[in-house]
Structure 1
Amino acid sequence: MAPSPQDSTRIYAALQESEARYRELVEHANSIILRWDRAGIITFFNEYAQHFFGYSEAEIIGQHVIGTIVPAGESTGRDLRPLMDHICRFPEEHRYNVNENITKRGERVWVAWTNKVLTDSNGETIGVLSIGTDITKQRLLEEELRQAQKMQAIGELAGGIAHDFNNMIHGISGYAEVIQQTTNDPRVAEYITHILTTAQHAAELTRQLLTFARKGNYQLSECNTHGIIRDVCAMLERTIDRRIHIEQQLDASRPHVMGDSAQLKSALLNLGINAKDAMPKGGSLQFATSNLTVDKPTAIADFEIQAGQYLLINIRDSGTGMSAEVRRRIFEPFFTTKESGRGAGLGLAAVYGTTHLHKGAIVCHSNEGEGSSFELYLPILKDCVKHVRQQRQATRHERRIRIMVVDDEAMVRNYSKTLFELRGHEVVTFGGAEEAINYYRNNFENVDLVLLDMIMPRMDGQQLFAFLKRINPEIKAVLSTGYSVDSKVQGILADGILDCIQKPFTYEQLQEKITQLVAEGHLNPLAETESPPT
């Protein structure tokens, strides 16, 4: 029975209303919705898609997907030209697809797509309905996380390498000191001086690595950053190209931070040298300071700083600037754009590590041809109280003591025994915890000082110290380490270890520690000598 004219009118009106509601839903959906045919030509583009990509309906309908909203190639290197055909031929593989897209203004964006193949009455593919969600921010956050994880992994690797290098350098410089003490040949003495100088340069490289890895020697005290900046500028003015004009704009009313002045000075000097290299024909370099308040925990690059009062140091140059790719990698150790032989690529890596150690943040802004600026955030002191350090009186006398050395490196043990005995000390050495414990249990009354290596197999220096302390609660010990993490060191000192000394150290540095411990009443020397025995 055919429908009456009134029924047909009602059905047609209902269909029109349903289509209008559907079109309104699609047009105003908070998602990108488009339809394209088998050839990749766009046949529908909803209002949200037009706003997102910047194309009007008249501009985009009839255009190919590739070259308009999909680039020919991703920034990752993937060729996207076969993508549309592949979606039509293998729809099961592309029900969910993520790829880079491009707006009319040329901005790269990342979109997560769900794709539904459209077919005719014969089941033949005639096009695809694609619904997309903008995931650009999520993608950037994922990339920042990957970069942070990569930097952490590189830091761990750098710390391990530097620790091993320090042990090797310690042995090289130690045996050089032994030869220096036993030779009267001036030519040999000259060669030894060269060896020791080279070892010191190598030690400086490992110190930079350790700073990047956040495992360097770290001594907190109150620092006036304005004084540090003035010292750095004075050094730069004496050493860099006179065509570079250095300016200081120190406006911070509260410039004091709790930190390591040597590391902060080194970080600012590295930033200044980096700026100098970007201005081969001269230019301007400015150091500026200001105070700011951070109201809540904030992410800056891959750093996270807490709420509080901060000092902002801005180092700006008028140099050549950097590309986005170079800017992304500048804090990686061994990455450098300088010619071979003009840098190890560790300067900015050390700056990165120093920033982490000081619970701050650093971010670089730069474009090619427009110069660069580094913003360094450091938490300021709540109470800027001047700490006056007592000057220790130097002594001409060396204090002879009985030393027990525990180190798993045979080279370190051998050179330590030889060199220390040359200077009048009595020395016993052990390569592991078990033999050291057995000896100490029977002879602790004949040991004035235990020199413990921090990193050893099976039982580290801190664990061994705890064991030896149970034997003799009055034990006197100094920890020697290829690297030291500040929180770890503070815990060790709280356990009762007298001090820490960082490898590679010279005999004079160790003797200075011994002299200090004797002066403070921790050690009882055997006797005094005006000069070391030969």
Structure 2
Amino acid sequence: MTTAAPASTPATPHQPRRALSIRATIIAIAGVAFGCIVFAAIALAFRVVPSAERLARRGAAARDDYSARSTLAAQLDSTMSDIWRLLRVAKVARIPADSIDARRARLETIARAASRSAPRGADLGTSLEFGMGLERADAAMLRVTASMLGSIGALEAGDLPLADRLMSRADSLDAPLNARLNEVTQVALSDLARHERELERETRFATRLLLGWLLVCVLAGPILWRLLQRRLMQPLSTFDTALDRVEAGDLDVELPIAYDDELGRLGAHFNRTTQVLRAQRAEGERAAVQSALEASDLRYQEAFEKAAVGLAEVGLDGSFLRVNRAIGHLLGLEPSEIIGRSSSEFSHPEDHNARASTWPRVIVGDASVGRVERRYLRRDGTVRITQVTATLVRDADGAPRHVLAVVNDITDQRRLEREVTQSTKLEAVGQLAGGVAHDFNNLLAGIIGYAELLEENPSLATAVRDDAASIKRAALKGADLSRSLLTLARRNTRRDELFELESMVRETVDLARRTFDRRVEIELTAQDAPTIRGDRSLLSNALLNLAVNARDAMPDGGALHIRTQLAPLDEAFRTQHALPTDVPIVSISVSDTGVGMSDAVLEHVFEPFFTTKAPDKGTGLGLAMVYGTVKDHRGAITISSAEGEGTTVTMYLPCASDVVSALVPRSQPAMARTRFRVLVVDDELLVRNVAKRLLERLGYDVETAVDGVAAIERLDVDDPGVDLVIVDGNMPRLNGIETARRIHARHPALAMLFATGHFEPAEREDLAALGFRDRIEKPFSLEAFAETVARCLEPRGG
């Protein structure tokens, strides 16, 4: 067992090799080592150590024997010297007896020691020669001692010559004694050398034994280490690594089993344990996956049912297998009424061919047709525009199972896109109209003014006055066209007045009845017609435009039905069409039984200059101006039509919720003077001149200024003497609003009249706060001009 391998890639199964168990292997190794140690110990204990001890005892005994003889010999020599000294003393003096006794006692002690001193080494295996040498030395020592004792006896008896002879004899015997001792010394040295050789031999044996054991250890160490590494340490390390991986959560680890021993069986048990744990984990994961799938399926079911967009599972044959509530709401049916039916049953007839060409590609997984735009018919016959995203769903084997369709209702989005497009086009027209309206109306103001001067001049011929009237009528038509363009772009000022809707509608219907072909039957149904706030003239023209379009759609006659009523609109409809939610809404519908319109025409009916009439039958501005008027009154307009089934156009207008006072408070006229001075401020020479002529005709003193700067300079005097300033709205250097602001700051009591050919929405601030008492739009008639100027010069109350 060496390395841990992942269970996912197991090696080829093999039977573990039978081997001695690790326990038996360790016991065998320990037994061999113990046997070697015991053998070495026995060898040392029974051979080397006894030999060393025996040799040590022999050497010690030999040293003791030799030392004892040497000591006795030394004592004997010392005593001999004393006796010779006594002899010398005795020749001249008497020797004390105690001195003689002391030497005798010493010699007797030496004699006794020499006679009793048997060699110790005889029992310890010393050499025979050494023992015999010691005996000869002892005998020589006894002879010397005996001679010296005789000399002491002679000395004690007073026989000095005898004593001297005996001492001389002892001296002669001392040389043999020394010779015997020298022999013993040589023998002792020889024995010692022999003993050292024996000890060296035993020492070499012990050394060889220890070196042999050390060599065995050195040679057996790597083998034992390799054996332990392979059989014990490496498997344990692998096992530890595997345990770490298991602790970290990796149950795919598997230990390869190399030997059928304890660790091999432990590894097999480990593998079985991890296999069980893997199975348990796999079962747990399967259960978790199953639980997650069930939870996911529940979430999918809930999301499917509660999704805000339409979701449908469509079979490969095109039939609905399952739909959510949004699909039911889209089609106006309950989901149970849809399931099992083909999706083609609800498709718009004009989309059938497109569906037939794309469906076969969808059910084979062609992603290029995954998102298409389709129209569906509701139960009530209305059409809903949708964006359908189709995705092919396959089963586990990859075979097509069904199509998941995400159906997003974009009807309102398409309507808003059309409205944005319409607003963009109207904005473009408005920019064009606003750009030319001022200059165009200035020209018309001059034409109409001079035409009226000619028409009112009694000194001119009737033909000239009639021509002037024709010029005036043509110019007024041009003014109407300019006003229509501004109304179309919702850039024109409108009156803000309260009026009864029913009376306006009845007046318009009466006008239509008097002018329309009698084959067109006009029916009016006025229910709950409330009061509304707005421009009565503009709304009347809008209604008349719708009636004219209805008449033109019925060239052979037909029925024209105009209906007014309070519209019971829900919040969704109000939000969809940007209608106010805090006031009632009144609807004005115009229905005809004419030729109707196709869907393609309906997409463009509110575009400026779009018309289906002949070139000399219309300009294409009618419905566009109606759209602009309705939007300018915070309303909405819808149209429904089908070819051959007529058309219904409905205007939705908010009812009046309060009453707003007029722009400038008015009081009863009270002329302070009979003649007033008026300052006309306009950059157009034509307008200045015609205004001056008209005012002088009306009896006013008139001054003119070419722009606002000139007017301010004219008024910056101590007593300007001006009663009214007529200010043009669009001038170079200083526009009308800024001119009025500066004049009002210098002369707050001075009356001003705002006159312009185009009234920008940005200028709709409180004109009264700037000193304006009224406003008038160019081109204006003499009558309207006179009335407006007179109102401005009326004295203010309080």
TM-score, reference length from structure 2: 0.50
- Following the alignment from structure 2 to structure 1, what is the Cα–Cα distance between the partners of residues 688 and 440? 16
1:368 pairs, out of 643, 664, 667, with 643
- Following the alignment from structure 1 to structure 2, what is the Cα–Cα distance between the partners of residues 58 and 376? 38
Per the TM alignment, residue 342 of structure 1 is displaced from its structure 2 partner at its CA by 1.9
2:490 alignment counterpart: 214
Question: What amino acid is the match of 1:240?
Answer: F
- Following the alignment from structure 2 to structure 1, what is the Cα–Cα distance between the partners of residues 318 and 497? 68
Q: Is the 8 A contact 1:228 1:265 kept in 2?
A: yes
- Following the alignment from structure 1 to structure 2, what is the Cα–Cα distance between the partners of residues 297 and 110? 21
2:766 alignment counterpart: 491
2:504 pairs, out of 221, 228, 233, with 228
2:414 pairs, out of 140, 154, 157, with 140
Summarize the alignment of residues 339-418 of structure 1 with structure 2, pairs less than 5 Å apart.
339-382=614-657, 401-418=676-693
Q: Is the 8 A contact 1:71 1:100 kept in 2?
A: no
2:612 alignment counterpart: 337
Percent identity of the aligned residues? Answer: 30
Matched, 1:285 2:557: no
Summarize the alignment of residues 389-468 of structure 1 with structure 2, pairs less than 5 Å apart.
401-421=676-696, 424-442=699-717, 445-468=720-743
| C-alpha distance after superposition, 1:346-389 (max 9, x if no partner) | 3333322332343333322222222222223333345799x9xx
Q: 1:522 to 1:444 in 2, by over 3 A?
A: farther
- Following the alignment from structure 2 to structure 1, what is the Cα–Cα distance between the partners of residues 778 and 726? 12
Summarize the alignment of residues 105-124 of structure 1 with structure 2, pairs less than 5 Å apart.
109-111=386-388
Q: Is the 8 A contact 2:521 2:558 kept in 1?
A: yes
Q: 1:48 to 1:257 in 2, by over 3 A?
A: closer
Q: Is the 8 A contact 1:110 1:139 kept in 2?
A: no
Per the TM alignment, residue 239 of structure 1 is displaced from its structure 2 partner at its CA by 0.7
Q: 1:285 to 1:392 in 2, by over 3 A?
A: farther
Q: Is the 8 A contact 1:405 1:430 kept in 2?
A: yes
- Following the alignment from structure 2 to structure 1, what is the Cα–Cα distance between the partners of residues 430 and 505? 30
1:199 alignment counterpart: 475
Q: 1:365 to 1:187 in 2, by over 3 A?
A: same
The DSSP-based 3-state class of the residue aligned with 1:299 is helix
Bigger strand share: 1
Q: 1:259 to 1:130 in 2, by over 3 A?
A: closer
2:746 alignment counterpart: 471
Per the TM alignment, residue 203 of structure 1 is displaced from its structure 2 partner at its CA by 0.9
The DSSP-based 3-state class of the residue aligned with 1:305 is coil
Summarize the alignment of residues 29-68 of structure 1 with structure 2, pairs less than 5 Å apart.
30=304, 47=322
Per the TM alignment, residue 23 of structure 1 is displaced from its structure 2 partner at its CA by 8.5
Q: Is the 8 A contact 2:751 2:792 kept in 1?
A: no
Q: 1:46 to 1:298 in 2, by over 3 A?
A: closer
- Following the alignment from structure 1 to structure 2, what is the Cα–Cα distance between the partners of residues 200 and 317? 32
- Following the alignment from structure 2 to structure 1, what is the Cα–Cα distance between the partners of residues 742 and 563? 52
Per the TM alignment, residue 473 of structure 1 is displaced from its structure 2 partner at its CA by 1.4
The DSSP-based 3-state class of the residue aligned with 1:355 is helix
1:64 alignment counterpart: none
Question: What amino acid is the match of 1:190?
Answer: D
Q: Is the 8 A contact 2:320 2:343 kept in 1?
A: no
Matched, 1:168 2:418: no
Q: Is the 8 A contact 1:405 1:428 kept in 2?
A: yes
Q: 1:275 to 1:23 in 2, by over 3 A?
A: same
| C-alpha distance after superposition, 1:301-349 (max 9, x if no partner) | 7543232223332222222222233334333332222211222233333
2:795 pairs, out of 518, 521, 533, with 521
1:269 pairs, out of 526, 534, 544, with 544
Name which one, 1 or 2, has greater alpha-carbon Rg: 2
Per the TM alignment, residue 42 of structure 1 is displaced from its structure 2 partner at its CA by 10
The DSSP-based 3-state class of the residue aligned with 1:415 is helix
Q: Is the 8 A contact 2:319 2:339 kept in 1?
A: no
Bigger helix share: 2
Q: Is the 8 A contact 1:69 1:102 kept in 2?
A: no
Question: What amino acid is the match of 2:447?
Answer: I
1:242 pairs, out of 518, 530, 540, with 518
- Following the alignment from structure 1 to structure 2, what is the Cα–Cα distance between the partners of residues 173 and 132? 64
1:480 alignment counterpart: 755
Question: What amino acid is the match of 1:262?
Answer: S
Q: Is the 8 A contact 2:313 2:323 kept in 1?
A: no
Question: What amino acid is the match of 1:406?
Answer: V
The DSSP-based 3-state class of the residue aligned with 2:498 is strand
- Following the alignment from structure 1 to structure 2, what is the Cα–Cα distance between the partners of residues 294 and 68? 34
Q: 1:207 to 1:366 in 2, by over 3 A?
A: same
Q: Is the 8 A contact 2:426 2:608 kept in 1?
A: no
Q: 1:315 to 1:158 in 2, by over 3 A?
A: farther
- Following the alignment from structure 2 to structure 1, what is the Cα–Cα distance between the partners of residues 563 and 342? 52
Per the TM alignment, residue 188 of structure 1 is displaced from its structure 2 partner at its CA by 3.6
Question: What amino acid is the match of 1:260?
Answer: D
Q: 1:458 to 1:111 in 2, by over 3 A?
A: farther
Per the TM alignment, residue 465 of structure 1 is displaced from its structure 2 partner at its CA by 0.9
Q: 1:248 to 1:102 in 2, by over 3 A?
A: closer
- Following the alignment from structure 1 to structure 2, what is the Cα–Cα distance between the partners of residues 156 and 11? 72
Q: 1:58 to 1:512 in 2, by over 3 A?
A: closer
| C-alpha distance after superposition, 1:135-186 (max 9, x if no partner) | 6257436515523642552463255043443223223323434555677344
| C-alpha distance after superposition, 1:370-427 (max 9, x if no partner) | 2222223333345799x9xx9999x9xx975322222233432243335544655433
Larger deviation: 323-332 or 361-370? Answer: 323-332
- Following the alignment from structure 1 to structure 2, what is the Cα–Cα distance between the partners of residues 208 and 466? 31
Larger deviation: 149-158 or 334-343? Answer: 149-158
Q: Is the 8 A contact 1:405 1:451 kept in 2?
A: yes
Q: Is the 8 A contact 1:148 1:302 kept in 2?
A: no
Q: 1:402 to 1:391 in 2, by over 3 A?
A: closer
Q: Is the 8 A contact 2:744 2:770 kept in 1?
A: no
- Following the alignment from structure 1 to structure 2, what is the Cα–Cα distance between the partners of residues 193 and 311? 41
- Following the alignment from structure 1 to structure 2, what is the Cα–Cα distance between the partners of residues 11 and 490? 76
1:501 pairs, out of 776, 780, 788, with 776
Question: What amino acid is the match of 1:417?
Answer: K
- Following the alignment from structure 1 to structure 2, what is the Cα–Cα distance between the partners of residues 213 and 468? 32
1:305 pairs, out of 580, 588, 592, with 580
Q: 1:300 to 1:322 in 2, by over 3 A?
A: farther
- Following the alignment from structure 2 to structure 1, what is the Cα–Cα distance between the partners of residues 789 and 627? 34
Q: 1:349 to 1:300 in 2, by over 3 A?
A: farther
- Following the alignment from structure 1 to structure 2, what is the Cα–Cα distance between the partners of residues 107 and 255? 33
Larger deviation: 337-346 or 198-207? Answer: 337-346
Q: 1:516 to 1:275 in 2, by over 3 A?
A: same
- Following the alignment from structure 1 to structure 2, what is the Cα–Cα distance between the partners of residues 262 and 45? 55
- Following the alignment from structure 1 to structure 2, what is the Cα–Cα distance between the partners of residues 222 and 416? 32
Matched, 1:156 2:430: yes
Larger deviation: 498-507 or 105-114? Answer: 105-114
